[in-house]
Amino acid sequence: MSALPQATDLARIFLEDVPLIDLRAPIEFKDGAFPSAINLPLMTDGERAQVGTCFKQQGQAAAIALGHQLVGGDVRAERMEGWLAHLRQQPDALLYCFRGGLRSQTVQQWLADAGVTRPRVAGGYKELRRFLMDTQDKASAECHWTVLTGMTGSGKTHMLEQVAQAVDLEGHAHHRGSSFGQLPGGQPSNINFENKLTIELLKRRHLGESAFVVEDESRLIGRCALPLNLYEAMCQAPLVVVDVPQEERAEQIRIDYVQDLWQRYQEMYGAEEGWPLFAAYLTEALARLKRRLGDKDHRELDALMQAALAEQARSGNTELHLAWIRLLLTRYYDPMYLYQLDNKRERVHFRGDKQACLAFFAEQHANKANQKSSTC
């Protein structure tokens, strides 16, 4: 089995989105994998657990024998057909298991015996993951980071859609980064969040990019944690502050967190099932702020929110939501932001309205491009 080919160019795998066949058990795949991977396991979760117990109690030889017993006969034939069928569709796919060991070697040999030779990834999932972690470390340390900040509702995410250097952290986390930021469909595992983010940075650095703009975030975006080295780089990075009037910010929140989000719930669950889920989402998001708001303010805001939800359910009109949104900005989000910005004022590199900030980013990008062309 050792004579069969191994894939060692890990950068190429990610730069070219090489198809991957993940042979690990489903529970391992769910915990973390790679965007171009499909899970076609050698063993189910139950079979893997049995083999693991046997290994601990009786040793490697007995565990290997049990594995062949569990994945033999019709079971082996069925799984072989699954691998062969996928390889007919993706003939360039590579194989991997956790460490590039027995599972991928076994399947690789079975495929070779059937006349199909495909490389396995040297070091398997563990080596691919280590490569991405090293890539993330280097990007955090070597790239120039700028952080866009501004009061809640400033539309920073929408602004970054117009910035060539932008990296959408919230997009990778599938979360809008606040108590109200949860999106239907849930978030990726933290490993998958890190993997997709790092692969984007790898590809963009390969194209020569070295300066990136991100939105101001806490370490946690929902339940996805930013890599510590990236978060620390962001905490030291220069700030660009966008100034937006409160009324405009309240309207942006109504559009994003009420109107657009309700549409997402309808598309995923349908109107009948989606409405109670959406209403509960808003109510619970506000409840998470109760300790900081205090009981009196929370009760006042919740009453306004429930009235707005009732009107929305009755007529579809979402204008009443502006009442609780304005009050929440005034009493909670705006004072908190001003306090935090005051602590970071020495890092402010530029400040202006949306158009001024976008022009600043465009000028930065043009200057970088000119510097690059002058050195060619």
* Active site (catalytic) residues: 97
Task: For residue 13, give the amino acid letter.
Answer: I
Give the DSSP letter of residue 46. Answer: H
SS3 for 175?
Answer: strand
Q: Please state the φ and ψ torsions of residue 117, each to the nearest 5 degrees.
A: -105, 120
Q: Give the whole-angstrom CA distance, residue 301 versus residue 293.
A: 10
Rounded CA gap, 305 and 286, in Å? 9
Task: Give the residue from 255, 275, 309 showing the smallest Cα distance to 184.
Answer: 275
Q: What is the DSSP string of 122-156?
A: TTHHHHHHHHHHHHHHHHHHHSEEEEEEESTTS-H
Nearest residue to 14 via CA among 166, 108, 128 = 128
- Closest-CA residue to 241 (of 160, 162, 148): 148
Pairing label, strands 224-225, 220-221: antiparallel
Burial category of 44 from C-beta neighbours within 10 Å (exposed 0-12, middle 13-18, buried 19 and up): middle
CA angle (188 as vertex; 157, 198 as ends), nearest 5 = 70
Decide: 125 and 22 in contact? Cβ < 8 Å: yes
Q: Which residue, among 362, 176, 351, 164, has the nearest Cα to 252 in the 3D structure?
A: 176
